[in-house]
Amino acid sequence: MTSKSKVVRVGNVLIGGENAISVQSMTKTDTRDSSSTIDEILRLEDAGCEIIRVAVPDMEASESLKNIKKAVHIPVVADIHFDPRLAIESIKNGVDKIRLNPSNIKDKEWIKAIASLGKERHVAIRVGANLGSFNNRPDNIEQALVDSAIDEVRLLEEVDFEDIVVSIKTSDVLMTVLANEHLSKLTNYPIHLGITEAGPLEDSLIKSSVGIGKLLLEGIGDTIRFSITGDPVFEVRAGFTLLKSLGLRRKGLEVISCPVCGRTEIDVLGMVNRVKETFQNVKRPMKVAVMGCVVNGPGEAADADVGIAGGKNSGVIFRKGKIVRVVHGQNLLGALMEEINNFLEKNNDN
């Protein structure tokens, strides 16, 4: 599952090669409202977001980038369509990367100007294709998507620009997978993965995990974004959960919990929700298990840093499969939270 792509720098994040697969999101705010945009980005930073994209529909939005860049701590990507002047101004105002469709900009001199300034300022450019790239729906959509993405790469290469990230996204999972498999054979630039317009939370979690996950398992993809209609914090959490499930990242909290059955005598879901609410922003890797009985108890969760297997008015706390404490009475949740805090203090995190 190791990428063979070249390395492209986006601010302080390296994409491609053997670097960790980065998790991105995009703000839902009006970029012209710099205060609201900054607040949302800071929330996303707390959730672990590593690269943030903002819409730049006009010059006022581009001007806001100055204040945004001063206030946030992760690389900022300006999302540009049609107007090359917005790309130029966004680069001047300090962004770390441009999301651009060169094919939407007919004048090659403008493309050359954007690429030249980007090269001078060490600003990467993401190009690519989606179903909106075509005036008329092509007969072979997969091939058309790949051809369009490669054409945009060549437009930049022709003006001597190679700090490129490529992306092919559609709302069709299978089509996106097939197109990216094809694309990966034709380029060694880093590939940004996502299922676009994937819908509300539940729909997106399923579609994005299937599509992005399959490609990552094939060693395709260097940076990802879940597209969710809703709070973008969920996009970040979902991204890291997927990467952790594939063994590609170990960052933050991971919860193991049983599905609950007729043997269960504790509030497993309540405990899980409390643990996630309290420790969701922990930065160090930490695996916590909440098991409803001893049948699945320490054994099934032997690799958990901290875990509990509960029964009626009693339970056991375990670490890495070893029982370290027997708890009697009602306060099983309190005992679990105490053990998690002890683990974090011992490992210099909170």
Has residue 281 been placed in a domain?
Answer: yes
Has residue 1 been placed in a domain?
Answer: no
Report pTM. Answer: 0.90
Task: Indicate the residue type of 157.
Answer: E
- Same domain assignment for residues 119 and 17: yes
pLDDT at 82: 86
pLDDT at 2: 52
pLDDT at 349: 59
3-state SS, the chain, equals CCCCCCCEEECCEEECCCCCCEEEEECCCCCCCHHHHHHHHHHHHHHCCCEEEEECCCHHHHHHHHHHHHHCCCCEEEECCCCHHHHHHHHHCCCCEEECCHHHCCCHHHHHHHHHHHHHHCCEEEEEECHHHCCCCCCCHHHHHHHHHHHHHHHHHCCCCCCEEEEECCCCHHHHHHHHHHHHCCCCCCEEECCCCCCCHHHHHHHHHHHHHHHHHCCCCCEECCCCCCCHHHHHHHHHHHHHHCCCCCCCEEEEECCCCCCCCCCHHHHHHHHHHHHCCCCCCEEEEEECCCCCHHHHCCCCCEEEEEECCEEEEEECCEEEEEEECCCHHHHHHHHHHHHHHHCCCC
Instruction: Indicate the residue among 245, 275, 306 that finishes a domain.
Output: 245
CATH number at residue 266: 3.30.413.10
- Same domain assignment for residues 295 and 222: no
- Same domain assignment for residues 76 and 174: yes
Domain total for the chain?
Answer: 2
- Same domain assignment for residues 229 and 273: no
Instruction: Indicate the residue among 216, 245, 274 that finishes a domain.
Output: 245
Has residue 18 been placed in a domain?
Answer: yes
pLDDT at 3: 57
- Same domain assignment for residues 224 and 303: no
- Same domain assignment for residues 313 and 177: no
Has residue 3 been placed in a domain?
Answer: no
Instruction: Indicate the residue among 223, 245, 267 that finishes a domain.
Output: 245
Has residue 131 been placed in a domain?
Answer: yes
- Same domain assignment for residues 23 and 135: yes
Question: Could you read off the pLDDT tens digit of each residue along the chain, which spans 350 residues?
Answer: 455 799 999 999 999 999 999 999 999 999 999 999 999 999 999 999 999 999 999 999 999 999 999 999 999 999 998 899 999 999 999 999 999 977 778 788 999 999 999 999 999 999 998 877 776 788 898 999 999 999 999 999 998 999 999 999 999 999 999 999 999 999 999 999 999 999 999 999 999 999 999 999 999 999 999 999 999 999 999 999 999 999 999 888 999 999 989 888 889 999 999 999 999 888 889 999 999 887 777 788 888 999 999 888 888 999 998 999 999 877 889 999 999 999 999 887 55
pLDDT at 58: 96
Rounded CA-CA distance 166/193 in Å is 9
Has residue 330 been placed in a domain?
Answer: yes
- Same domain assignment for residues 169 and 276: no
- Same domain assignment for residues 86 and 154: yes
Distances (CA, A) of 171 to 134, 159, 174, 194: 15, 32, 9, 9
- Same domain assignment for residues 222 and 269: no
The count of other CB atoms within 10 Å of the CB of residue 197 is 16
Has residue 222 been placed in a domain?
Answer: yes
Query: For residue 66, what are the domain limits?
Result: 8-245
Has residue 2 been placed in a domain?
Answer: no
- Same domain assignment for residues 231 and 329: no
CATH number at residue 228: 3.20.20.20
- Same domain assignment for residues 17 and 66: yes
